[in-house]
Amino acid sequence: MNRKQRAAAALKQTGLFPLSTRDVQRALEEPEQHHEGDLALSCIPASRQLQRTAVELAAETAAALEDFPWITAEADGHRVFLRFHRPVVGDWVLQHADDPDYGRSTTERPQTAAVVLGTSRDLDMPEWADLRAAAVTQSLLRLADNGGWTSIRAEKAASWEVDFGLHDEKTKEPSEEPAARVIQQLMEQELITRTEEGYAVPLSGLPPLLLYSRDAAEGEARALAAVVARKEQLDFDVLLDVSDNRRQLHIEQLRQVLRQGGWPWGGQLEHVGISEVQSRYTPTDLLKRTRELFPDAKQAAGVLLFHLLLPDRMDRPPLTPHLLGEDRGGRYIQQTYNEVCYSVSEGRADGSAWPDAVWRVVCRIDDFPETAKTAWERRQPSLLAALMLNLAEAVRAVPPEAWEDADHRLPEAACRVLRRGMFLLGVELEVRAGK
């Protein structure tokens, strides 16, 4: 349970809020002004349900939280500002971070995720999107394992027919038999109609899915049969197609046809969209430049992978060799990791001071488990990439004298989270000689 979840639980225990604990947690925000506190809660939504004034509810909430010694509350108008007792909360965080399984989560029942790197040949997808899709695929597989799922890496959609034996043993050509079985089931459901293009399945709110063209030269019958075969052989709970954003319509068509055709698990097919990376350079050019900057092959790959996983919403220039020369991504995190590793080896005093700079590191460590879980649930490794960059920046912002007074467990916890978080993104950190 992280600090925001603890605060939400305390607010719920006051008995003043008709909202669920999760809704209370969502309502908690970090104040714009740091001096106002660690978290802020607007009482307007709850006051409407209770038919009370928000100002009155805020004052009563602040008074009720006096029973919780690890948190201080102050009412200001319709808002309640919360400030944590840092030594207590910081000790909670570092105790949990010492667990080897820190950041892992579990599921209520065993589940299987199959992740497929979608084909781009029919879409003329830029090389960058293919490279980014590969990075996201690898990260999703590791995030799934971290979330308690069983992950399976599937090959590109273009080779599904070969993977699952959808080919004729004698001619080695694609077999029509699996597709024929799928077509038969759709015909029994009276879902296939004849159009000018060929045979298709009409869909609600979407263009029809073309199964066969008039000359049988193209169509989605085999792709549909391959998805059915994957389900039969892998028995997945979710099948993720990681590919260019333009494939989303295609995946939606397959989902709807599967559900209409008597395969209720069709909703387990999901699309993870990849946006194009804007760059003046080809992947080959940039990889060459990256190798020049970072002779170690693993580090070069890590720098490039991390940039490809950064969220688009972050303000950053196009991915270029110049940017890598002033890297705030993979190499920056590697350097930060090295420095905190040295801090661990040198040892630190077990102090009690929790200045703002140290507290920000504790907060980012505390955010790790929930962020890793959310990154998997939303299929967005970029959320974890952003946290890793924020954690590195928080560590680098701590002045040397603050480290001396901080809890001796803090550098080691930062090391562990950086290493684990980057591993989940497909990048393995190693300690390197020299600072």
pLDDT given at position 164:
45
- When the candidates are 3.30.1360.70, 3.50.50.60, 3.40.50.20, 3.30.300.30, the CATH number that belongs to 3-84 is 3.30.1360.70
Q: Which two tokens stand for residue 363?
A: 């907060």
SS3 339: helix
Which of the four pLDDT bands, split at 50, 70 and 90, describes residue 327?
low
Between 127-146 and 410-424, two packed helices, what is the crossing angle to 10 degrees?
120
Q: What single letter denotes the amino acid at residue 388?
A: M
Domain ranges of the chain: 3-84, 112-274, 279-424
Residue-by-residue DSSP string for 105-118: ---SS--EEEEEE-
pLDDT at 61 over 50: yes
Mean pLDDT of the chain: 83
The answer, yes or no, to whether residue 171 has pLDDT greater than 60, is no
Q: Which residues of 38-77 are buried (b: 16+ CB within 10 A; e: fewer)?
A: bbbbbbebbbeeeeeebbebbbbbbebbeebebbbbebee
* CATH 1.10.730.10 is the classification of domain 279-424: yes
Quote the pTM value. Answer: 0.86
In angstroms, rounded to a whole number, what is the distance separating the alpha carbons of residues 161 and 421?
A: 35
Q: Per residue in 200-226, pLDDT tens?
A: 999 999 999 988 876 655 678 878 888
For 197-223, give the secondary structure using H, E and C: CEEEECCCCCCCEEEEECCCCCCCHHH
HSE value, Cβ hemisphere, 13 Å, CA-based, for 314: 19
Q: 269 falls in which pLDDT band (50, 70, 90)?
A: very high
- pLDDT at residue 435, as a whole number: 45
- Centre a 10 Å sphere on the Cβ of residue 345 and count the other Cβ atoms it contains: 10
> Which pLDDT band, with edges at 50, 70 and 90, does 78 fall under?
very high
pLDDT band at 181 (very low <50, low <70, confident <90, very high): confident
3-state secondary structure of 152: strand
Tokens of 127: 């090389």
- Give dist(CA 89, CA 53) in Å, integer: 32
Residue 198 neighbours by CB distance under 10 Å: 16
- Helix residue ranges per DSSP H, 19-85: 21-27, 44-50, 54-64
Sequence-distant (≥ 6) Cβ neighbours of residue 66 within 8 angstroms: 73
Instruction: State the Cα–Cα distance between residues 192 and 349, nearest whole angstrom.
Output: 73
DSSP 3-state of 98: coil
pLDDT at 89 over 70: yes
Strand ranges (E), 35-169: 39-42, 71-76, 79-84, 112-117, 150-154
From 14-23, 285-294, 409-418, the region with the lowest mean pLDDT:
285-294
* Percent of the chain surpassing pLDDT 70: 83
Q: With 60 as the cut, is the pLDDT of residue 314 above it?
A: no
Long-range contacts of 187-192, Cβ-Cβ distance < 8 Å, separation of 24 or more: 189/260, 189/261, 189/262, 191/257, 191/260, 191/261
What's the pLDDT score for residue 263? 94
SS3 content of the chain, % helix, strand, coil (to 5): 55, 15, 35
pLDDT of residue 120: 46
| Mean pLDDT computed over 80-100 | 93
d(CA 254, CA 310): 30
State the helix-helix crossing angle for 3-13 and 86-97, rounded to 10 degrees: 120
**Fold of domain 112-274:** Rossmann fold (3.40.50)
* CA-wise closest residue to 115 among 17, 234, 282, 289: 234
393 band by pLDDT with thresholds 50, 70 and 90 = very high
Helices 356-377/86-97 angle, 10° precision? 50
- Quote the pLDDT of residue 163: 44
3-state secondary structure of 311: coil
d(CA 352, CA 279): 48
